[in-house]
Structure 1
Amino acid sequence: MALITDRVTAVAVTDVAALAAGAAIFGTGGGGAVYTTQIVAEAALADNGPVELVTVGDLGPDDLVISMSGIGAPTVGIEMLSSAGQIELLVREAERAAGRPITTLMAAEIGGSNGVGPVGWASRLGLKLLDADGMGRAFPDAAMVAMNVAGVPCDFSVLSDVVGNVSVIKTVDLHWLERHARALTVASGSICLGVHYPLTHETARGAVIEGTVSAAIRVGHALLSSPEPVAAVAAALDGKILLTGKIADLDRRTEGGFARGSVTIAGTGADRDRLQRIELQNENLIVLEDGEVLVSVPDNVTIIDAETGHAITTEMLRYGQRVSVLAWACDPIWRSRRGLELAGPQAFGYDLTYVPFGGGLQ
């Protein structure tokens, strides 16, 4: 990703606020609200110290990486928090399935709470954290990961809920994993924690989106330190503010473990004669204005507070909020033929031809 330049080698408690702010931006509306996860991660780092942040090139033959995330509806995740023993249980079951110790955690997605949680989990478990993730943003489907684009198979997944139920899942492909994991998640109240995609130093190379933890921290620092946070975030991402206005209509419902619907934003000030609608499926997927598609998935769209620049996740959208619509280009891996097959507009049920935002196809 072109926006990643400044590498971070360790994540300390003083970095978590910036990480959370940046991960919320990368969440593109999904990944879960960062507030409670930030508090948990800060407490873990305060108790256990900084987490070593390593690159794919730092991994050795004895390292085993596992990706971790929450799965389910973000609207439910606000109220149903994880239990204290869920992380230890997940990793223990993953090590049993892998037949070897796990040394390194990776965020399945850098977006939202799923980009922040692994830092606290790694600190509690005494593990390293990989400066990478599987999406470069947030996506709602287990198949929508860079490892799948690269053709790396997923050997197993482990899912747990707050009650203590644990499921080890081995499926023929990630589309079947999504079906099974989603059904188990809905049965558990629409929120679970999971680990999947064990990776070695050989299989991780070229199969993950590198540098995204460092990038989230850098974007978060830009947001938190600037007197003009909206402009600072757009500049840090090489992105564009599409519209500034207020939420005029909101249609949001939770079904099948997803938050679905649309939000309509009426322009204010210089944009007062404009109206945009954003289609939602956990994440912000399509931006339309006057019948024209301005941005579509897999490119990134985040609704941010028009004053503070902080991201507003799907479940926190409210009528009357003053917002700006921020868009920037996705990682090049998603513009490949395989990437668009997995995470382009048609993968979400939209009969649209993808047109790259801010640049051509790779």
Structure 2
Amino acid sequence: MRQLALDALDQLTLGATLLANGGGGDPFIAKLMVEQAIIDNGPIEIVGLEDLPDDAMIATVAVIGAPTVIIEKIPSGREFIEAVRALESYLGRKLDAIIPVEVGGMNTLVPLAVASEIGIPCVDADGMRRAFPQIEMTTFTLGGISASPMSLADEKGNKLAFETISNQVSEKLARGSAMMLGLTNALASYPMTVAQAKDAAIPGSLTYCHEVGGLLHAVQSHEEGAWERFLDFTEGVIIFEGKIIDLDRRTTTGFARGTVVVEAFADPSRTLQIEIQNELLLAVEDGRPVVTPPDLICMLDHETSEPITTEALAYGQRVRVLGIPCAEGWKRDGMLDIVGPAAFGYDADYTPLKG
């Protein structure tokens, strides 16, 4: 067991912003929620799955909606507690811990704040080790764990809980409900025992996120050898450097969707096209897929190495684009059905990232 104190929060937030692949919502608001929770309640208890009994009940809590809406409709914080309470009421029992659904963006930090406010630990594991736009896109689904029963809550006090026959249906119902409730809501889902999570979760995700944040901070501080250490740890590759010359972005069907085109500094005839669905999902150069899901596409400001979220993309930005391999926890039968290119409607084969 360990504890998360204020002095570790900046590093964790930076890692979460990078691993969000441009999506997941800007973590700044969630960081403020965690800061206040630590000030009010003290350091937040972080536990490994091995620290909890196998029959302990855990669940995820997260923001659902479009990042472009989240920056305009700031969460109150209470809706996340209400979503958890609604799920507990439906289950007929209290949760023993909170587990992040993803370590990317706001949904890395929101579970920490909620766990602190409720007075239970947060688990050092997740279901993605990145951010994905849809509820079913988790290693929990790969492990046969149902996303439901689940609950949804908004800032006005509206709450609903429901069960579905598949995680794909859970996504449709939750997304449709979120669209009617303002397109940024609190979601509590994937109730599971620790024994189930040990088989399906990606362990050590919060620790990984914190370490990545530290390595990226060293890059931003221009420490000698920092890029080499960062790329070695993440097994990442710098795939493109250039400026944004075209950007199409819209909020539709409950997501921020679009395309961003980057022109190479060294050779203006080279361009990289990246497709967006909340996250940066597919990178194509000269008709050839360069990075495909579930591998990560991360876009950094070329001068400051600050991760850029999809809602902050702008014409003329100078950027560095990274590719990072997905977590080993994804590499099991059924992965491509859930998070491969075809799962997003792209006519492309999965091409494992090579250094």
Using the size of structure 1 for normalisation, the TM-score is 0.93
Of 114, 117, 120, which residue of structure 2 is paired with 1:121?
A: 114
1:25 corresponding residue in structure 2: 18
AA paired with 1:18?
A: Q
AA paired with 1:72?
A: G
1:241 corresponding residue in structure 2: 238
AA paired with 1:266?
A: E
- Does 165-174 or 35-44 show the bigger shift? 35-44
- Offset, 1:248: 1.0
Of 292, 295, 300, which residue of structure 1 is paired with 2:296?
A: 300
* Unpaired segments ≥5 residues, structure 1: 1-7
AA paired with 1:256?
A: T
- Offset, 1:62: 5.5
- Offset, 1:175: 0.8
- Offset, 1:84: 3.8
Task: Give the Cα–Cα distance (whole angstroms) in 2 for the partners of residues 185 and 345 of structure 1.
Answer: 25
The two structures, once aligned, show a CA RMSD in angstroms of: 1.7
AA paired with 2:327?
A: D
Note the alpha carbon deviations across 1:266-286, whole angstroms, 9 max, x for none.
122x45553111011111111
Note the alpha carbon deviations across 1:237-261, whole angstroms, 9 max, x for none.
1201111111111000000110111
- Offset, 1:25: 0.8
1:5 corresponding residue in structure 2: none
1:182 aligns with 2:178: no
- Offset, 1:128: 0.2
1:202 corresponding residue in structure 2: 195
Identical positions, percent: 37
- Offset, 1:333: 3.5
2:64 corresponding residue in structure 1: 71
- Does 43-52 or 344-353 show the bigger shift? 43-52
- Offset, 1:308: 2.1
Query: 3-state DSSP class of the match of 2:156?
Result: coil
Question: Is this contact kept in 2: 1:264–1:275, CA < 8 A?
Answer: yes
Of 348, 351, 354, which residue of structure 2 is paired with 1:352?
A: 348
Task: Give the Cα–Cα distance (whole angstroms) in 2 for the partners of residues 49 and 134 of structure 1.
Answer: 27
AA paired with 2:176?
A: A
Task: Give the Cα–Cα distance (whole angstroms) in 1 for the partners of residues 50 and 231 of structure 2.
Answer: 30
* Unpaired segments ≥5 residues, structure 2: none
Note the alpha carbon deviations across 1:106-155, whole angstroms, 9 max, x for none.
11111111111111221222110000111111111111111110112334
1:164 corresponding residue in structure 2: 157
Task: Give the Cα–Cα distance (whole angstroms) in 2 for the partners of residues 142 and 221 of structure 1.
Answer: 29
Query: 3-state DSSP class of the match of 1:347?
Result: helix
- Offset, 1:337: 3.3
Task: Give the Cα–Cα distance (whole angstroms) in 2 for the partners of residues 281 and 196 of structure 1.
Answer: 21
1:220 aligns with 2:222: no
Of 324, 329, 345, which residue of structure 2 is paired with 1:333?
A: 329
- Offset, 1:9: 2.3
Query: 3-state DSSP class of the match of 1:17?
Result: helix
Task: Give the Cα–Cα distance (whole angstroms) in 1 for the partners of residues 8 and 205 of structure 2.
Answer: 14
- Offset, 1:103: 1.7
Question: Is this contact kept in 2: 1:66–1:198, CA < 8 A?
Answer: yes
1:10 aligns with 2:3: yes
Task: Give the Cα–Cα distance (whole angstroms) in 2 for the partners of residues 75 and 83 of structure 1.
Answer: 17
- Offset, 1:173: 0.6
Task: Give the Cα–Cα distance (whole angstroms) in 1 for the partners of residues 144 and 28 of structure 2.
Answer: 34
- Does 306-315 or 8-17 show the bigger shift? 8-17
1:254 aligns with 2:251: yes
- How many pairs align? 351
1:138 aligns with 2:134: no
AA paired with 2:20?
A: G
Question: Is this contact kept in 2: 1:52–1:129, CA < 8 A?
Answer: yes
Of 258, 264, 272, which residue of structure 2 is paired with 1:267?
A: 264
Note the alpha carbon deviations across 1:214-246, whole angstroms, 9 max, x for none.
011111111223433882543431201111111
Task: Give the Cα–Cα distance (whole angstroms) in 2 for the partners of residues 56 and 40 of structure 1.
Answer: 25
Task: Give the Cα–Cα distance (whole angstroms) in 1 for the partners of residues 6 and 268 of structure 2.
Answer: 42
Task: Give the Cα–Cα distance (whole angstroms) in 1 for the partners of residues 289 and 3 of structure 2.
Answer: 40
AA paired with 2:290?
A: L
Using the size of structure 2 for normalisation, the TM-score is 0.94
AA paired with 2:237?
A: K
Runs of 4+ in structure 1 off by over 6 angstroms are none
Question: Is this contact kept in 2: 1:334–1:340, CA < 8 A?
Answer: no
1:314 aligns with 2:310: yes
In structure 2, relative to structure 1, the CA distance for the partners of 1:201 and 1:84 (3 Å cut) is closer
1:45 aligns with 2:44: no
Question: Is this contact kept in 1: 2:55–2:195, CA < 8 A?
Answer: no
AA paired with 1:43?
A: Q
AA paired with 1:246?
A: K
